[in-house]
């Protein structure tokens, strides 16, 4: 699918900004997991157009490592959906989902996250609830960020919130699968508009309050309402 046929990809490609050097290696001896994290962060920071080729040799040179750990990192990222590996063509940044693909991700989340929130309420881990509430606290977010950094911070706080709910549920299978889903969703943080932040925060707070009360039905309802509203906001942003 070309960018012209995919309004999601086209919209994102307009916002991509390049640095002279894409990959910034850590200032210490780099390990296999570091390579994975560096490349992943480059992809999530939208430094590549959807479908753009990832030059394995170039990445290895800039990170000052051999090709083997870079190839392993790219294969791992391919398993998470951030990279594709085409026979005889190598690795590429994954294409963004079309509208239907986004809706399918939310359909999956609507199946999984409301009962996950209900389970979190049943477990009644008040220390964990306090940690979750701190993520919702608007005063915890730095106030002097650039527009891009503020957008990325909002996206990461949203991911941290939902991961926090899943961890409170205690289901490790759910946690693992949702972590992969949230990673894919972060590619759409360009559409996380500032005017949606207040509404998102209010919806998150309703979920926290229900979990704190130990009310599984209210927690599930609050999560379902939040995801439905979030999808509506994303749809609106994509057509603007």
How does pLDDT run along the chain (240 residues), one tens digit per residue?
Answer: 444 444 444 444 444 444 445 555 554 446 778 888 888 888 877 777 888 999 999 999 988 888 999 999 999 999 888 899 988 889 999 887 777 888 898 999 999 999 999 999 999 899 999 999 998 877 666 666 566 666 677 778 888 999 999 999 999 999 989 988 887 776 665 445 656 788 888 999 999 999 999 999 999 999 999 999 999 888 877 666
* Runs of H (alpha helix) within 94-185: 99-123, 126-136, 147-169, 172-185
Q: Which long-range contacts (CB under 8 A, 24 or more apart) does 213-216 make?
A: 213/121, 214/121, 214/122, 214/124, 215/121, 216/117, 216/118, 216/119, 216/121, 216/122
Give the chain's count of helices (H) and strands (E): 10, 2
In whole angstroms, give the CA distance from residue 69 to residue 55.
Answer: 14
User: Beta-carbon neighbour count of residue 215 at 10 Å?
Assistant: 16
Joined together, the tokens standing for residue 230 give 């979030």
104 SS3 class: helix
Give the burial string for 1-19 (b: 16+ CB within 10 Å, else e): eebeebebbebbbeeeeee
The pLDDT value recorded for residue 4 is 42
Number of other CB atoms surrounding residue 27 within 10 Å: 6
Given a contact cutoff of 8 angstroms between Cβ atoms, the answer to whether 116 and 166 are in contact is yes
d(Cα 223, Cα 113) in Å, to the nearest integer? 7
pTM listed for this prediction: 0.71
- Do 74 and 43 form a contact (C-beta atoms < 8 A)? no
């Amino acid at each position: 699918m070309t960018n012209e046929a995919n309004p999601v990809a086209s919209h994102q490609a307009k916002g991509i900004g390049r640095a002279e050097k894409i990959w910034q290696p850590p200032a210490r001896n780099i390990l296999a997991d570091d390579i994975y994290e560096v490349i992943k962060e480059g992809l999530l920071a939208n430094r590549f157009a959807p479908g753009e080729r990832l030059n394995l040799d170039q990445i290895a040179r800039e990170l000052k490592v051999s090709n083997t750990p870079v190839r392993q990192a790219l294969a791992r990222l391919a398993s998470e959906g951030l990279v594709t590996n085409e026979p005889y063509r190598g690795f590429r940044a994954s294409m963004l989902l079309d509208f239907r693909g986004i809706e399918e991700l939310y359909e999956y989340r609507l199946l999984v996250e409301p009962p996950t929130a209900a389970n979190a309420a049943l477990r009644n881990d008040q220390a964990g609830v306090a940690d979750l509430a701190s993520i919702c606290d608007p005063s915890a977010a730095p106030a002097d960020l650039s527009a891009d950094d503020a957008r990325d911070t909002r996206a990461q706080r949203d991911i941290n919130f939902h991961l926090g709910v899943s961890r409170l549920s205690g289901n490790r299978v759910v946690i693992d699968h949702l972590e992969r889903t949230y990673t894919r969703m972060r590619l759409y943080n360009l559409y996380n508009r500032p005017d949606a932040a207040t509404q998102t925060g209010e919806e998150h707070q309703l979920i926290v309050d229900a979990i704190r009360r130990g009310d599984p039905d209210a927690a599930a309802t609050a999560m379902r309402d939040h995801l439905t509203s979030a999808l509506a906001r994303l749809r609106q942003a994509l057509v603007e």
